[in-house]
Amino acid sequence: MTIPELTEALENICSGKNNAYRAKQIFSWICRGSLSFDTMSDLPQSLRTSLEKYACIRGSKQKKRLLDPDGTNKLVLELHDGKCIETVLLPAGNGRYTACLSVQAGCPMACVFCKTGSMGFLRNLETWEIADQFLFLAGELAEQSKALQKEFRISNIVVMGMGEPLLNISPLRKALDILCDPLGFGISKRKIIISTSGIYNGIVDLAENGPLVDLAFSLVSAREELRRSLMPGTINEPLSKIKQALVLYKKKQGRRITLETVLLGGINTTSEDAKAIITFASGLDATINLIPWNPVDKLLYEGKKLFRPETAEIQNFSRLLKEGGLRVTQRYRRGRSINGACGQLGEA
């Protein structure tokens, strides 16, 4: 709940005059990691007792924790209905971490190179199920800080986990409002990236209504036919319309746009692919983020196993894009040993 919603809830369970103040106290306790209302020592005992009967603090349970040698944490969370999701904590250097959040159980987009896409769509997550992920990750980091006697903090959020964020925008928007509240975690919305496979209406909604965050568009291929075969869920989202939406987003929000391209060996790394991306990126002032494919067992394209491109293939593709005047970066691989890297969630 947001603080105003907490205040309204308190009106329904007690007749105190300080409900707005109490709501802020409860909100702060939850963000500091409290797992029980009884530990909220500055609340009246009668209120704590009522809260224990009225509500729970977290609706998910931690089922599994996996740790990569590079410092990446992956948590498998069990939802109230038994479905499971995954969320990842990524080290960003200097004691800072990035929280990678999921928005759906499974995914309807069915991208052939993504483990989550192979699971099918189970359901959208509710606001609390999105916020819960951050709370669990923050708890992991607090334990690490205590054990190592060092200060660690989550400074960034990437909505790049399981599911398509723009098909569940309202619960996500509210969850980000909660996580960005200065009385709680105070995450700056300028430190948040939402990644989408390309949902025209969703990008327009973001442009018109916020939140004011960076946007990453999973382009993969700017050749329409190839893109649709690799990302079947985009069949009704033509690139021409997506580009219109991206231009609107840039105009309305003034935020950075990244074009993400998962590189699949021998499939989307030709000179023709590079030329198509250069053409699509014209006028967007976007950065191209190359993501060499992270292996996932049993994923096939046209009956053949996918494979990661060779280093020379990656370098050549990057060179072609740069020669076309584009800014190019390459995603650093983290969490691969625990299947916590891009495209691997759901493989726990």
Catalytic residues, by residue number, are 86, 342
Q: How far is CA 68 from CA 223, 262, 325, in A?
A: 36, 22, 36
Rounded to whole angstroms, how far apart are CA atoms 175 and 127?
5
264 token code pair: 């699949």
What's the helix, strand, coil split of the chain in %, to 5? Answer: 40, 20, 40
Nearest to 185 by CA among 235, 112, 131, 114: 131
Helix axes 169-180, 127-148, angle to 10 degrees: 40
The identity of residue 132, as a single letter, is D
Q: Are 43 and 16 in contact (CB under 8 A)?
A: no
Q: Are 271 and 221 in contact (CB under 8 A)?
A: no
100 token code pair: 């990678």
CA dihedral 10, 16, 20, 25 (to 10 degrees): -80
Q: Is the dihedral of CA 299, 301, 303, 309 positive or negative?
A: negative
Nearest to 164 by CA among 77, 106, 245: 106
195 token code pair: 């990644």
Q: Which residue pairs, CB below 8 angstroms and at least 24 apart, start in 114-118?
A: 114/296, 114/299, 114/343, 115/296, 115/299, 115/339, 115/343, 115/344, 115/345, 115/346, 115/347, 116/162, 116/163, 116/343, 116/345, 116/346, 117/233, 118/296, 118/298, 118/299, 118/346
